[in-house]
């Protein structure tokens, strides 16, 4: 792909934004006048699939060639919005089968915004088809899926960026550079991470007929087939272990991945977890409403806690992480950070960077997370920079795998009732035959579970 020019003036107006660019090596923001726009396809046109695509359209010259979704209504709505957003004004080709979309179009980039249980097969098929991939987190529903995804990215020499955009969040990049890396915390030997959002959908809708606009068979894919009880979009599917890994897999991965990035941590030495449905027992949901986990490193424990009921420990930081150092404490979230020194010293507070004036279209976008939009734009630019330079992006698939798999292993620890030690070289849990049998879920016929040695 030909090199493109970069217009620095479009974004370098805020210190946090400028620092963010410097931190991961991007040379500017808005990309203009490439020899040829990126040919883009999106699989999964729901809330976050569209959000990711619109952020990409904002920062790079792209032509959205194709969209795929099993919900015809959702698909047609997305097509209309894309035609209004992209420069050419063209309406993308529409598909209900992503494999057909991949086979009929030469795509430079594929974005994957489907539920978790589809991520692995779609990412692997996309890189096999010759595309670079931006895949939402968590990357997989089981550990072996993640191993296969890393293997596929390396085998086909494609850039795969994971949607853990906290690594591209301006105020968090600033906190890493000016507080953690600068040594203001001193030795860090304890980390706490949490989520206290009341985010567990837990109703009892009746079983009903599948609407004619939804291909429920394709939506289910390799996952177990649940009786249809209403549209699974947005929140409902996340309340079932059949499709994901609960709040641990949805929310812990963001905070744990950010902590690993800030502290330069790899695989945990040991993982343990307890939890269950302690309070919200009335609905169909089968994910834990209460869970604790410990990710152990040398002289450092990273502790996770979530409750989808009750009040947060700190109302200002209901979804957050806290780094405890001998010289001070750093508490941070998607909205802000606070550094408190031990003893005398200056406290530091920074808030999230918004870009409402630069991107006024954000203000009319349905369900947009305005605080996350700048981070996703930076994340897309880092992705494109990696494609251009044949390098690893800041949220490379391997890093996404470590964070995802660690959360999945926490769930396996909770399920088996004992700690787990994962050996990534042997791809096995050390000395635990029962737990090893849980590293790969059984796929529904006719789907075949990917294997890292056979991608």
pLDDT digits (tens, 9 = 90+) for 290-334: 999 999 999 999 999 999 999 999 999 999 999 999 999 999 999
**What pLDDT is stored for residue 234 in this prediction?**
86
Closest CA to 119 of 158, 157, 83, 148: 148
Strands 319-325, 300-307: pairing kind: unpaired
At 344, is the pLDDT very low, low, confident or very high (cuts 50, 70, 90)? confident
Provide the whole-model pTM. 0.94
Closest CA to 331 of 167, 169, 186, 192: 192
Between CA 396 and CA 385 the distance in angstroms is 12
**What pLDDT is stored for residue 34 in this prediction?**
53
**What pLDDT is stored for residue 166 in this prediction?**
97
Q: Is the pLDDT of residue 61 over 80?
A: yes
DSSP reduced 3-state for 68: strand
Q: Is the pLDDT of residue 15 over 90?
A: no
- Average the pLDDT over 118-138 and give the result: 98
Between CA 98 and CA 187 the distance in angstroms is 48
Between CA 50 and CA 368 the distance in angstroms is 10
pLDDT tens for 147-181 read 999 999 999 999 999 999 999 999 999 999 999 99
The residues, any chain, with a CB within 8 Å of residue 10's CB and separated by 6 or more, are 28, 29, 30, 358
Q: Is the pLDDT of residue 18 over 90?
A: no
Q: Look over the chain and give the mean of its residue pLDDT values, rounded to a whole number.
A: 93
**What pLDDT is stored for residue 225 in this prediction?**
97
At 7, is the pLDDT very low, low, confident or very high (cuts 50, 70, 90)? very low
At 30, is the pLDDT very low, low, confident or very high (cuts 50, 70, 90)? very low
Is residue 331 within 8 Å of 338, Cβ to Cβ? yes
Instruction: Work out the end-to-end distance of the chain between its first and last CA atoms, rounded to an integer number of angstroms.
Output: 25
Between CA 162 and CA 402 the distance in angstroms is 12
pLDDT above 70 covers a percentage of the chain that reads 92
Q: Is the pLDDT of residue 278 over 90?
A: yes
- Average the pLDDT over 275-293 and give the result: 97
Q: Is the pLDDT of residue 28 over 50?
A: no
- The CATH class, in words, for 168-355+401-436 is alpha beta
At 21, is the pLDDT very low, low, confident or very high (cuts 50, 70, 90)? low
Name the residue ranges covered by the structural domains of the chain: 5-166+370-397, 168-355+401-436
Q: How far is residue 163 from each of residues 205, 354, 426, measured CA to CA in Å?
A: 31, 19, 27
**What pLDDT is stored for residue 10 in this prediction?**
36
* Fold held by 5-166+370-397: Rossmann fold (3.40.50)
Q: Is the pLDDT of residue 65 over 80?
A: yes
Between CA 45 and CA 53 the distance in angstroms is 9
- Average the pLDDT over 94-106 and give the result: 98
């Amino acid at each position: 792909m030909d090199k493109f020019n970069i217009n620095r003036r479009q974004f370098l107006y805020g210190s946090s934004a400028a620092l963010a660019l410097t931190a991961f090596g991007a040379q500017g923001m808005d990309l203009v006048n490439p020899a040829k726009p990126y040919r883009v396809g999106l699989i999964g046109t729901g809330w976050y699939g569209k959000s990711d695509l619109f952020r990409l359209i904002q920062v790079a010259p792209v032509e959205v060639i194709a969209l795929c979704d099993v919900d015809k209504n959702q698909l047609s709505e997305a097509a209309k919005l894309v035609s209004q957003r992209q420069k050419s004004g063209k309406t993308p080709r529409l598909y209900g089968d992503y494999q057909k979309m991949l086979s009929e179009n030469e795509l430079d980039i594929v974005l994957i915004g489907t539920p978790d249980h589809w991520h692995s097969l779609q990412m692997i098929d996309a890189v096999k088809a010759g595309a670079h991939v931006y895949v939402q987190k968590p990357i997989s529903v089981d550990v072996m899926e993640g191993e296969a995804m890393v293997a596929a990215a390396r085998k086909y020499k494609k850039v795969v960026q994971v949607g853990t955009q906290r690594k591209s969040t301006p105020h968090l990049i600033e906190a890493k550079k000016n507080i953690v890396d600068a040594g203001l915390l001193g030795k860090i030997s304890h980390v706490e991470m949490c989520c206290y959002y009341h985010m567990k959908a837990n109703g009892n809708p009746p079983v009903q007929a599948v609407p004619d606009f939804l291909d429920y068979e394709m939506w289910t894919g390799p996952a177990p087939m649940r009786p249809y009880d209403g549209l699974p979009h947005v929140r409902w599917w996340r309340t079932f272990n059949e499709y994901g890994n609960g709040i641990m897999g949805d929310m812990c991965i963001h905070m744990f991945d950010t902590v690993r990035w800030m502290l330069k941590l790899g695989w945990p030495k040991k993982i343990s977890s307890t939890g269950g449905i302690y309070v919200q027992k009335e609905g169909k949901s089968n994910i834990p409403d209460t869970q604790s986990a410990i990710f152990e490193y040398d002289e450092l424990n990273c502790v996770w806690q979530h409750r989808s009921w009750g009040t947060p420990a700190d109302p200002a930081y209901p979804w957050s992480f806290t780094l405890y150092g001998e010289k001070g404490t750093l508490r941070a979230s998607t909205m802000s950070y606070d550094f408190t020194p031990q003893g005398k010293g200056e406290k530091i507070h920074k808030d999230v960077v918004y870009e409402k004036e630069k991107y006024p279209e954000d203000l009319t976008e349905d369900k947009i997370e305005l605080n996350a939009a700048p981070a996703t734009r930076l994340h897309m630019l880092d992705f494109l920079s990696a494609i251009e330079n044949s390098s690893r992006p800041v949220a490379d698939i391997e890093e996404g795998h470590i964070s995802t798999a660690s959360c999945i292993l926490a769930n396996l620890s909770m399920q088996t009732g004992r700690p787990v030690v994962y050996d990534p070289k042997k791809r096995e849990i050390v000395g635990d035959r029962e737990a090893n049998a849980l590293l790969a879920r059984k796929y529904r016929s006719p789907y075949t579970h990917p294997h890292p040695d056979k991608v």
